[in-house]
Structure 1
Amino acid sequence: MTASDAPLAVFDVDGTLVDSRASIHFGACEAAKALGLPEPSYDRVRQIVGLTLDKALHTLEPQLTMAELAEFVAAFQKSFRVRYEAGHEEPLYDGVMPTLRQLKRDGWKLAIATGQNSRGVARNMARPEWSELFTSAHCASDGPGKPDPSMLLAAVHRNGATLERTVMIGDTSHDMLMAKNAEVTGQGVGWGFHTVEEQLAAGAIHVANDFSDLEAALNRFAAKV
């Protein structure tokens, strides 16, 4: 495989590589309490993950004024900032690093497309080996968030890839709709925020049960294209 025809795997972060389920629900509950709102259930929160933060929280509490929404966003960000300053870090899912290393050895180009902001990207790219494994990282701070295809198309362009040889790997319907809008293949994973059914309905060609299943699916994709 030459560099010019290497396939590109673009990974979501939250719910795909990083297990942030508890942290995001906790942050939403803390922010809601700060505004005197009822604590949202996990099921409500999981459905907004992947969207830009202001859009996600507006979807969660659509009755808020713009000023109240800004306060909600600030309270959510403060909850995370306090925990990170205390040394908190979300864990990687089991199997993440072996899979990323194997894909790199097999000649894949790897990139990130996440609903996190630039601070979140910088924090994750500081994880051991990530700056060597991923050739580019794209996020909501760069422009429209998911499911707009902009950040995914930017990853394709940055890596000199083609749409046909690019696969978007994520755990939400927002990831799969972004892949569909960019006209690239959407590969789901079954251990994050959205259900298998939600991802398939949004256009995923397959939803992996674990990282071994994901590697097999990506090998099939590479063999076809």
Structure 2
Amino acid sequence: MAASPYTCVLWDVDGTIADASAGILPRLVEVYAAFGLPEPAQSELSRWIGPPMFESFRDLAGLSEEDAHLAVRKYRELAMRDGYAASVRIYRGVAEALQTVKAAGIPQATASSKPENQVLAILEHYGLIDDFVIVAGALPDASGLHDGKEAVLRRALHRLTEAGVDVSRPVLIGDRLHDIEGAAPLGVPVIFVTWGFGEPGESAGAIAEVATPDELLRILLPHG
């Protein structure tokens, strides 16, 4: 195993591994229309990518909690219609970074606010699934509401532990403030990537900020 400061690496998906905006944004426009809302400006739509959809429909679209639940359901129906891996691209250099970390013997997992079945579909479609020991994404509760980043991270660490992985020094790779906020209660440091959808100031609280996968690898594998 190559020397690394970390015993395992957890990855956010939207904005970190994959750019799904080409599919996400048109579906949001359809949901807005279904609720009689004016079409949001294109410049605003990137704020939706990453955080849990329920929170975004409630806080950004201004829907009631009841309508936010319905909007999430409508959005999921549209995503299923379109295909979960449709209009998704993998960021340049990320697939190679995943392979390099795996080859170095550092276990990897996803920890995404995206529904877990959608994460699996994307990773399988692009042949990335074997780079991960486990895959963790958002799961619904009895009401259909998907859990947030902290819960997903907690589940990812638990599954890694069950798989025999040392989780004493984890690190999360992410691109939004909610990654940092979700990791903080668990004491998981975050490396913030700037190729995603984060806005200025969102990286506050991260241990490092990187602009390319090569920069990221120099932190994950400093002696690689």
| TM bucket, shorter chain | 0.7 to 0.9
Shift of the 181–41 alpha-carbon distance from structure 1 to 2, 3 Å rule, reads farther
Alignment of 1:24-39 (within 5 A): 24-39=24-39
Distance of 2:200 and 2:65 partners within structure 1: 34
Of the two structures, which has the highest relative contact order with CA contacts closer than 8 Å and spacing of 6 or more?
2
User: Which residue number corresponds to residue 210 of structure 1?
Assistant: 212
- Whether the aligned pair in 2 keeps the contact of 1:46 and 1:193 (CA below 8 Å) is yes
Give the letter for the 2:182 counterpart.
M
Alignment partner, residue 49 of structure 1 = 49
Change (3 A) 1:65 1:186: closer
Q: Does structure 2 retain, via aligned residues, the 8 Å contact 1:113–1:155?
A: yes
- State the distance in 2 between where 1:43 and 1:34 align: 21
Task: State the superposition RMSD in angstroms.
Answer: 2.6
| Residue equivalent to 1:123 | 121
Alpha-carbon deviations, 1:2-43, whole Å to 9, x = none? 9xx972110011010001123222221121012210112344
- What is the TM-score when the length of structure 1 is the normalising length? 0.84
User: In the TM superposition, what is the alpha-carbon distance from 1:164 to its structure 2 partner?
Assistant: 4.4
Alignment map for 1:95-114 (pairs within 5 Å): 95-114=93-112
Partner of 1:171: 175
Contact 2:14–2:20 (Cα < 8 Å) also in 1: yes
Bigger Cα displacement from structure 2, 163-172 vs 68-77 = 68-77
**Is residue 93 from structure 1 mapped to residue 116 from structure 2 by the alignment?**
no
Structure that is richer in helix per residue? 1
Report matched runs for 1:54-65 at 5 Å: 54-64=54-64
Give yes or no for contact 1:208–1:217 (8 Å, CA) kept in 2. no
Q: TM-score, normalised by structure 2?
A: 0.84
| Cα distance in structure 1, aligned partners of 2:194 and 2:152 | 23
Q: Figure out how many residues of one structure are paired with residues of the other and give that number.
A: 215
Q: In 1, Cα distance between the equivalents of 2:80 and 2:151?
A: 27
Where do 4+ consecutive residues of structure 1 move more than 6 Å?
none
